[in-house]
A and B are shown apart, each in its own frame.
Chain A
Amino acid sequence: MAVLAPEVRSAAPRWLIRHETLLVAILLVALVILGLFNERFLTVDNLLNQGRLMTEVGLLALPMTFIIITGGIDLSVGSIVGLCAIMLGYSWKNLGFPLPLAIAFAIGVGGVAGFVNGLLITRVRVPPLIMTIATLALYRGLAEGISQARSVRNYPEWFFYTGQGEWLGVPVQLWILLVGIIVAGIALDRTTFGRTLYAIGNNETAARFSGLPVDRVKLVVYTLSGLAAGLSAWVLVSRVTTTRSDMGSGYELDVIAAVVLGGTSIFGGVGTIWGTVVGLVMIQLLKNGLALTGVKGDATIIVIGAVLIASTLIASSLHGRREVAG
């Protein structure tokens, strides 16, 4: 018998807006401070370059937002990036695929890798954490086995356009990320697919009992995650010009950090693409700003960890206040 409290509107979105606003505010303050310390930081060139560096993790963060909203997690994304990068190089160099086909093949491999995650999670009901820890090791092992620790180089010049070129003065991959953000944002906010994600994250049983295609949607998000990893691998190889089997290792942590920093609840049900984008930009610019200011790498990691904890604390205190108000 809940007490009717008519003025309490849907609190989650309002809290989210607050969380995102807060993040943007912190971001602006950090930008100004770092800008004061270093004149090279707040320049168009530097910022665009940071956008370039951010894309590989950014592409992964979009489907990761979907996955975490359903209450799941995908720890294998970094390994899939590695596997796809290797498959790109291997199919081009060793199997003699034409390079465009090799790129498509690599992205396809990513999709299959994600699909396998999704299949076992939905059909066999392996918890996502366990499943993707297993494939984190498995896919990386495959990448190393196939590559035989040999790197692939000497890609043709046109191949580097994606990772190093510019279109209308903006890095090419940043355009890809931008399109991804808009598509993902609209999908989450406006479509039945997005609504289903929130419903699953908030109450999977009720979503199922409402006849929503819970398993199919989960399968889709893990597959999307794999496809995004393939895309990310292509951009990465194109940017750094070589293929190595250790590519993308540790990405999963950056990706999850960006998503969670952006206000997506690790318990599912709450989160937005816009939040993830702010989280992503924040981490990238903090890293860069601190590096330019002369802070050493280890200290940078400490600062990022501290920011993540602080933002979670602020978020949970906002959240807590809402609960009490009810």
Chain B
Amino acid sequence: MSDARNALMREGGPAAPLLAVAGIEKSFPGVRALSGVSFEVAPGEVHALLGENGAGKSTLIKIISGVYRPDAGTIHLDGRPLRLDSPDDARRAGIATIYQELLLFRDLTVAENVFMGHAPRGRGGRLDWKAMAAKTEALLATLEIVDLAPSRVVGSLSVGNRQRVEILRALSQDAQLLIMDEPTAALTEYDVTRLFDIVRRLKSRGVGIIYISHRMDEIFQLADRVTVLRDGAQVGTRRVAETSSAELVQMMVGRQIESLFPKVAVAVGAPVLEVRDLVRRPMTRRISLTVRAGEILGLAGLVGSGRSELARTIFGVTPAESGEILVSGEPVQIRAPSRARALGIAYVPEDRATQGLVRPMNVRENFSLASLARVARFGFIDSAAETRLAETGVARFRVRAGSLDQVVGRLSGGNQQKIVLGKWLANQPKLLILDEPTRGIDVGAKAEIHRLMCELAAQGLAILMISSELPEVLGMSDRVLVMREGRLVAEFSRAEATPEAVGAAMMGSQGADAGRAA
């Protein structure tokens, strides 16, 4: 371990690390998840972990937070060797982890969640509610959070506020080391800013932070050092000030990413989908739009602006109350997703885990789920045809899976997303609705999905893309529509769509007039 440590010291690591991880190895049956990973986190340092999905980041943090035992290697906290047999050991040692899926009790209050398991006790072991509320207030004050009352029920909070509750929970246990697994994946721009503020505050208090994110700009804004993993091995550790995003991407993927958004101009054809005065209260209010063959129409807006609701109304999950939908010029009624599918509409939903995939089922079964009729004769599934369908999809989308019989819940996010996309394209749709198509997936998979979108548009598919990532919307769309509070508020051509103009329309601030009102 001393070798690894010296190596890091030469790279400029601080003399007294808070956390020192050395030579971590971990294998699962048939797969080597981590081999010889070593890195350190200094007090007050934000240390980013970077790597594609499946690179071993999650395994690594699960080892540091006591969920998995490493096969080999050591962990030192404050110079003392740690033996972590359970997440509880890690917690007691001062290591707190904030996972992507926040683990809170929805029906309990902020204070109850913060002190779950270590509530202040009064006489006779009874809960001291007053102390609990006061301590929560104090914690809120240290982070200068003023808009969160300890008595609020967590279920009523926004994602950003729930995350703050998780952070408070970690602080209430005097965590010295905070692990954050893609904390911004589900946050709005505003919440991201506030999160960064809190992270900087914690930093100044000497808390060490391990920060996992796919977003390069966050790493450059927040992190001091970054360790890159690829296929379970450590590619290297860099000081953020001394590296570039191009270098990091290359370290991650082991190859050059061509261009970030490979959008090519495509001749736009006839309207595939026309929506007129579509209403589904409360979030879809008199929406009119047209998507043409070969066109990628971007739908921008803040989280909660009604974009997904619109998509689900077009797709028949929540059928429209009034208004018209025309597919290829024909007026249609869409009262259920099965009808939308029959009309050639495909919807890749925002939540892969609950809406996109049947995770306990395998790759083959998920691939054929939206096109069962194509692989069946008289209702009988032709398993050879089904296997062919899945094999074609796996090859076309470069899905990395051990076999077609692998349960999809065990695949990485990027591979899962490719399967959702693949299962819909197997049905040969005319219109593809993509809802956050690249959320929470790694750079490599993201580029592949973007490349695919261009290919599909070139083949004449009409694409309606919802994305909360402004660069993605601007980079991929032929035209951009902006939604706010259930209404379309602006429309921009590709040339007009600057980050400032679209951003302003999303926020509803001045400058929204820059786009023609839709």
Contacts and interface: CB of A to CB of B under 8 A. Distances in A.
A202 B360 contact: yes
Given A7-B30, A206-B354, A190 B381 contact: yes
A9 interface: yes
Interface string A198-209: 110011011111
A5 B403 contact: no
Interface in B292-348: 315, 317, 336-338, 340-342, 347
Contacts of B405: 9-10
B365 interface: yes
Nearest to A2: B410
Contacts of B413: 1
Contacts of A206: 354-358, 369
A2 B181 CA distance: 13
A59 to B, nearest CB: 22
Contacts of A212: 338, 369, 372
B362 A10 contact: yes
Given A191-B376, A207-B358, A210-B423, A1 B412 contact: yes
Nearest to A11: B407
Contact of A195 (B338, B381, B400, B402): B381
B401 interface: yes
Q: How large is the interface on A (under 10, 10 to 19, 20 to 34, 35 or more residues)?
A: 35 or more
Contacts of A210: 337, 341, 369-370, 423
A192 B412 contact: no
Given A192-B381, A209-B317, A212-B369, A1 B58 contact: yes
Contacts of A215: 336
A210 B28 CA distance: 32
Contacts of B337: 208-211
Interface of B: 28-31, 33, 53-59, 315, 317, 336-338, 340-342, 347, 349, 354-362, 365, 368-370, 372-373, 376, 379-381, 400-403, 405-407, 409-413, 423
Interface string A2-42: 11111111111000000000000000000000000000000
A213 B409 CA distance: 23
4 closest cross-chain pairs (CB), A and B: A6-B402, A211-B341, A7-B30, A1-B58
Contacts of A191: 376, 379-381
15 contacts: A2-B409, A6-B30, A7-B29, A8-B406, A9-B402, A10-B406, A191-B380, A191-B381, A202-B358, A203-B357, A205-B354, A210-B423, A212-B369, A213-B338, A325-B29
B317 A208 contact: yes
A190 B380 contact: yes
Contacts of B379: 191-193
A203 B338 contact: no
Nearest to B232: A3
A321 to B, nearest CB: 12
A211 B370 contact: yes
A199 B369 contact: yes
B349 A209 contact: yes
Nearest to A206: B358
Given A7-B30, A199-B361, A202-B360, A211 B338 contact: yes
A320 interface: no
A291 to B, nearest CB: 40
A326 interface: yes
B411 A4 contact: yes
Given A191-B376, A192-B376, A209 B381 contact: no
A3 B54 contact: yes
Contacts of B56: 3
Contact of A3 (B58, B349, B403): B58
A195 B423 CA distance: 15
B356 A192 contact: no
B178 to A, nearest CB: 19
A209 B356 contact: yes
B311 to A, nearest CB: 11
A157 B153 CA distance: 70
A214 B403 CA distance: 28
Given A2-B411, A210-B423, A192 B29 contact: no
A8 B358 contact: no
A179 to B, nearest CB: 18
A72 interface: no
Given A191-B379, A192-B379, A3 B31 contact: yes
Contacts of A202: 358-361
A226 interface: no
A125 to B, nearest CB: 14
Nearest to A6: B402
Given A3-B54, A202-B361, A209-B317, 7 more contacts: A2-B58, A3-B58, A4-B400, A7-B31, A190-B380, A192-B372, A202-B358
Nearest to A196: B372
A198 B56 CA distance: 32
Given A1-B54, A192-B372, A203 B354 contact: yes
Contacts of A205: 354-355
A196 B372 CA distance: 9
A114 B127 CA distance: 51
A239 B370 CA distance: 46
Nearest to B416: A2
Contact of B340 (A3, A196, A199, A211): A211
A142 B341 CA distance: 42
Which of B30, B317, B369, B373 has the most chain A CB atoms inside 10 A of its CB?
A: B369
A199 B358 CA distance: 7
Contacts of A326: 410
A9 B406 contact: yes
A269 interface: yes
A170 B372 CA distance: 39
A195 B376 CA distance: 11
Contacts of A2: 54, 58, 409-412
Given A209-B349, A212-B338, A3 B28 contact: yes
Task: Indicate the member of B315, B341, B372 with the most A CB atoms within 10 Å.
Answer: B372
B402 A5 contact: yes
B58 to A, nearest CB: 4
Nearest to A14: B405
Contacts of B358: 198-199, 202-203, 206-207
A9 B360 contact: no
B230 to A, nearest CB: 13
A77 to B, nearest CB: 25
Which of A192, A193, A206 has most B Cβ within 10 Å? Answer: A206
A4 B356 CA distance: 20
B477 to A, nearest CB: 24
Contacts of A10: 361-362, 405-407
Contacts of B28: 3, 5
A325 B410 CA distance: 12
A199 B362 CA distance: 11
